[in-house]
Amino acid sequence: MLENRLDQTFARLREEKKAAFVAYLAAGDPTLDATLGLVLALAGVGVDVIELGLPFSDPLADGIVNQLAAQRALESGTTTAGVIELIRRIREHSSIPLVLFTYLNPVYTYGFEKFHADAAAAGADGVLLLDLPPDEAAANSELTGTHGLRQIRLIAPTTPPARMRDIGSQGEGFIYYVSREGVTGEQSELATNIAENVAIIKSGSGVPVCVGFGISTPDQAAAVARSADGVVVGSAIVKTIAAHGSSPDLASLVADFVRPLVEATKSV
């Protein structure tokens, strides 16, 4: 398998003995032009990987903050083709790794293989399909045309250890460990079993393990970075975008919010 930007970034961070900071943005919230500015601003404050949420009308794994962001993106006219074009525009300015974070419905509607071909040609590095179980992907030949994009797998805290190792062994790019049950959203406290489950996944996986869901403060980011290869922050960033969406200084305001989270992640 050819190395891509995700592989290169995690290899560099492993040499530096640093955890990755992964930021989630809802593509098209408040507009696709604004998302371009946000991606470049976040790359400028040290974010290592960007997850671009492809807006979908029924985002079942997302809490209210990300649901509303998807709604705003759809209302602004964001389409799957528009997000792929956004990736092309990002690539004119930045080589930051990009992962498309979405559900199977919009990908299948676009055309599974065409989606992957177009996304790869535009400059995406990976895809995370929240509602596509690995076993289903393996059992359906039409779901295998991924054109070199890393297929990011999710592992939940309720997954049995043997299953964690099995999914981990199939991982590409990185494993996204969901730190708690339920949907996305900020939490006042982290789950207590993160380090234990990350260790189980890593025992069966050759790719990095990143932890998300509920991380919203520098202290939480630092705590997760002590045991994981990466920290994912989404809802807290999306909430900041919602608060300042009409501001001409949106990108810099969001970058100011994210900077201490990045610094905390790298301080461990």
Report pLDDT digits (tens) over 4-48. Answer: 999 999 999 999 999 999 999 999 999 999 999 999 999 999 999
Q: Are 42 and 35 in contact (CB under 8 A)?
A: no
Catalytic residue, from 29, 51, 118, 125: name it.
51
Q: Are 241 and 30 in contact (CB under 8 A)?
A: yes
pLDDT at 140: 72
**Catalytic annotation present for 62:** yes
Average pLDDT over residues 242-255: 97
Cβ-based neighbour number of residue 130 at 10 Å: 18
Q: Which ranges of 205-247 would DSSP assign to H, the alpha helix?
A: 218-225, 235-244
Catalytic residue, from 7, 29, 62, 118: name it.
62
Domains of the chain, start order = 5-153+216-266 (3.20.20.70)
pTM of the model as a whole: 0.94
Query: What is the C-alpha separation between 234 and 21, in angstroms, rounded?
Result: 11
Lowest mean pLDDT among 27-31, 43-47, 122-126, 134-138: 134-138
Query: What is the C-alpha separation between 187 and 189, in angstroms, rounded?
Result: 5
Average pLDDT over residues 207-211: 96
Share in percent of the chain as helix, strand, coil (round to 5): 50, 15, 35
Is residue 65 predicted with pLDDT exceeding 80? yes
**Catalytic annotation present for 172:** no
pLDDT at 61: 78
Q: Are 265 and 226 in contact (CB under 8 A)?
A: no
